[in-house]
Structure 1
């Protein structure tokens, strides 16, 4: 992604007495004037950018079972036995019930009963997911189809990435502002304004085209970028030293 153009603006205006503790600023009439009180703060304005990438942390596997019989009880028993074996395999590998969803559907075509079941499992442990798929592929017949894993990012992962990339962009803006202040012979003061201007997200593509698990997870790696606008107070270095 092409980086956004950097923007830096520094305002070097007269310092008001209110900013740095001068006690006796006298106007023409010997008193502090309204103009003195309205001197705007000296400030530096910068933008900061950051990017953060993360591989997927979830993999969903769909296991479908189908059977057709001329007796409704036979088709139910056929599908139920296979579904129960799948669920038993998941329990043996410590897969939580909350991560498993089972759906069933039955149709009748003339005198033939057709039943289908789908077991959808979400894994956060990819090694465990591979072991479960290997067992099911080895032990079950062609009436059971074990799908390829579909890799995704959980809402928790997305939320953490968005927060971290925004914080990183603010830190980059602070470092940039600090260098600008140094080149101007000034010191960086407190932040006056922080505004997130843009947050983008994109991934590398689908997760089924690559032959290996590592390559498939790489295809769906998510990247989040953020741009922030920050205004900092400018302080003369000599006055900052006096205060310390």
Structure 2
């Protein structure tokens, strides 16, 4: 996981001389999760022939078929990488290729993998999908959980003020106290073999979690009017 971001704080100025603000000091927290937004699938294929041309032709045709099917399903060229390796062992020519395809739509990923299995069979080896988050998705999760913690903290302060018939004022201090990030649910059982995991279990294991605890100080304005009480 990416390193915990720097703590954020927002603070108002001090009370004017001769006046003391009445304050309420509270802490609040929030926890959010976000499923992976990308999946990478690797497809390996190879061929051994007595002539160089036959070996290259067999592999090239399958590469073109695989990349075309991925493009038809909306995968951009930038999300498809092809690595080829050619060698000769005695009188046998060997051609291998590794195709890595990155999907943002998991439904289309399943469609492509199913199609390749049906059409190419054992001539290709398709790896289980590797789910992960883009940096942008993780940044969004961090911002959302911080905002949620602040919102919960403000709600707690408002309830305290209402309990004593007071109205909540402006924030004097908002400080992010602690943030934590982890992947996979802590209560999920660990499988002995990653290959035995279902698609949903793989997604769950790759799900990112973030928690945030916030400390805040709010001004107490005074007695709440009837309108505020009704709200």
Normalised by the shorter chain, which TM-score bucket?
0.7 to 0.9
Answer yes or no: is the 8 Å Cα contact 1:53–1:222 preserved in 2: yes
Stretches of structure 2 that go unaligned for 5 or more consecutive residues are 1-14
Question: SS of the counterpart of 2:36?
Answer: coil
Query: What is the CA distance between 1:189 and its match in structure 2?
Result: 0.8
Partner of 1:226: 212
CA distance in 1, matches of 2:126, 2:225: 71
Partner of 1:177: 157
Of residues 30, 36, 45, the one that matches 1:56 is: 36
Q: Give 1:40-189 correspondences, 5 Å limit.
A: 40-189=20-169
Higher RCO (CA 8 Å, separation ≥ 6 residues): 2
**Change over 3 Å in CA distance of 1:108–1:194 after alignment to 2:** farther
Query: 2:221 is matched with which residue?
Result: 235
The 8 Å contact of residues 165 and 224 in structure 2, kept in 1 or not, is answered as no
Q: What per-residue deviation string (whole Å, max 9, x for no partner) do you get for residues 193-220 of structure 1?
A: 2122222221227894554323332232
146-155 or 206-215, which moves further after superposition?
206-215
Q: CA RMSD in A?
A: 2.7
Which structure is larger by alpha-carbon Rg, 1 or 2?
1
TM-score with structure 2 length normalisation?
Answer: 0.78
SS at match of 1:192: strand
Residue aligning to 1:214: 200
Unaligned runs of at least 5 residues, structure 1: 1-15, 19-36
Q: For 1:210 and 1:225, how far apart are their aligned partners in 2?
A: 30
